[in-house]
Amino acid sequence: MGITESDARETEERLARSFEANRPRLLRVAYTMTGSLAEAEDCVQEAWLRLRGLPDPAVVRDLAAWLTTTVSRLALDALNSARARREQYVGTWLPEPLVEDRSRDPADRVTLDESVSMALLVVLERLSPAERTAFVLHDVFGVPFREIAGIVGRSPAAVRQLASRARRQVEGGRPRRPVTEAQQRELIDAFLAACQGGDLPGLIALLDRDIVLRGDGGGKVATLQHAERGAARVAPMMIARAREGGPLDIVLTQVNGAPGLVFRSSDGELSVMAFTVDAGLITAIDIVRNPDKLAKVPDLA
């Protein structure tokens, strides 16, 4: 007796439910690997199409593992393709920020935690695609080296070395003494008050001596052409920005799993500001202004 239309529909629905259950994790994998929510969503959608295209999806014994491998391969391909584009990028390239959106379907949201922090994603940009893949899959998502080997086309021993090299770079770029969410919110409140009040000494006291300020406008809106370093240089720039930007609509919200700011200037331009905090001081400020990277920022008014 052949498969009826009803049986086929039931199988399709069961497959779709299983896929949707895995979607949030798959989005995290692809986003952490690529730094782009748009590319991550494309990878996850392509994985679904490939799953549906299998002659008999029932042969997939471990659907979660199959999907993770498929999405990882697609994300690695996307990352390799993006390298050439990013070399021609105007100004500093920063990851696409993830701004918390409670109104969005949980299945379509990337879980916001330390694994997608702006600090981590910026460090990951320094790695080769293979190093990034090995570190993200093994250290963040717990994928065994033998499975990663098939994704990157290396031996398990070589993948272990890739992850080890990546881990050293990541550890050097992560906050050594991170603060609580409440402490970071309090620090950002003080930062805002100092900027808006023109309190230069007060602002400098909140910044690490070697703070780095980065801006990403993609050549489409005005921003920094290169990173600026040092509290004595960054603090006056931030105060000047607060004064010159005109009236701002500012919202304190979650940006990549940590308190950050979304603001719209009087001319309607949107910006997202992410902070890295270590030992109670702001060590990095990343401002994304490229409108292409802000299309999915929710209306927080």
pLDDT at position 15? 86
Cα separation, 19 vs 72, whole angstroms: 15
Mean local confidence (pLDDT), 277-297:
94
pLDDT at position 109? 52
pLDDT-based confidence at 104, cuts 50/70/90? low
Mean local confidence (pLDDT), 200-229:
94
Q: Most confidently modeled of 114-123, 187-196, 259-268?
A: 187-196
Torsion sign (Cα): 190, 193, 195, 197 = negative
pLDDT at position 63? 93
pLDDT-based confidence at 88, cuts 50/70/90? confident
Would you say residue 246 has pLDDT above 70?
no
pLDDT at position 200? 97
Main-chain dihedrals φ then ψ at residue 164, nearest 5 degrees:
-65, -45
* Mean pLDDT computed over every residue of the chain: 89
Comparing 110 with 279, which gets the higher pLDDT? 279
Cα separation, 274 vs 272, whole angstroms: 7
Mean local confidence (pLDDT), 229-241:
95
Comparing 191 with 224, which gets the higher pLDDT? 191
pLDDT-based confidence at 35, cuts 50/70/90? very high
Which CA distances in Å does 47 have to 44, 50, 64, 160?
5, 5, 11, 26
pLDDT-based confidence at 116, cuts 50/70/90? confident
pLDDT at position 100? 83
Radius of gyration from C-alpha coordinates of the chain: 21
Per DSSP (E only), the strands in the chain are: 207-216, 228-229, 249-255, 258-264, 270-278, 281-288
DSSP state of 301: -
- C-alpha of 151 from chain center: 21
Cα separation, 98 vs 79, whole angstroms: 18
At 122, list the tokens. 């910026």
Cα separation, 4 vs 270, whole angstroms: 53
**Three-class SS of residue 237?**
helix
Cα separation, 95 vs 294, whole angstroms: 11
Mean local confidence (pLDDT), 231-254:
87
pLDDT at position 113? 56
pLDDT at position 13? 85
At 273, list the tokens. 């500001």
Cα separation, 236 vs 203, whole angstroms: 9
Q: Quick check: 171 and 161 in contact, CB under 8 A?
A: no
